[in-house]
Amino acid sequence: MRAKVATYRPNVSSSHEKSPALRAALDGLAEGASVERTVLRDAVRELLAELARRAPGRSVEVRVPPYGAIQCVEGPRHTRGTPPNVVETDPITFLGLASGSVTWEEGLRTGRIRASGIRADISHLFPVF
């Protein structure tokens, strides 16, 4: 089912230029509509890239399966095996974090965000906009 583009503006700054995929995903989720898999994928990847740009580094791995993973945040670099600092969440929760409609604390409390490691608290990076 295609996400409808609505006039509703989620908790996102108008100064940030959003791609059509990100706009459609945020608007569709705000309306409670299903979002096409490819639109969701593109929106998550755009947000992961923005997160990596805002917090360059390689000490924390942020995973949003099945769409992508990045390494970010300055600190000791991870090179082999399981990373010591990992944040993992689903695509819908990640979009909610990025837009400010889901808080870091709420995500942790409900189990929708899993964070492990001493550097895994990246709550200061959200919302992305």
Confidence of residue 76 (pLDDT cuts 50, 70, 90): confident
Considering the entire predicted model, what is its pTM? 0.82
Contact between 52 and 70 (Cβ < 8 Å)? yes
Q: Residue ranges of the domains in the chain?
A: 20-125
Q: What is the pLDDT of residues 27-74, one digit of tens each?
A: 998 898 889 999 999 999 999 999 999 999 999 999 999 999 999 999
Q: Is 62 helix (H, G, I), strand (E, B) or coil?
A: strand
Burial of 103 (0-12, 13-18, 19+ CB in 10 A): middle
* Helix-strand-coil split of the chain, %, nearest 5: 40, 15, 50
CATH fold for the domain made of 20-125: Nonspecific Lipid-transfer Protein; Chain A (3.30.1050)
Run of H or E residues at 109: helix 104-110
Question: What's the mean pLDDT in 62-91?
Answer: 90
Question: What's the mean pLDDT in 99-109?
Answer: 95
Pairwise CA distance, residues 127 & 12, whole Å: 8
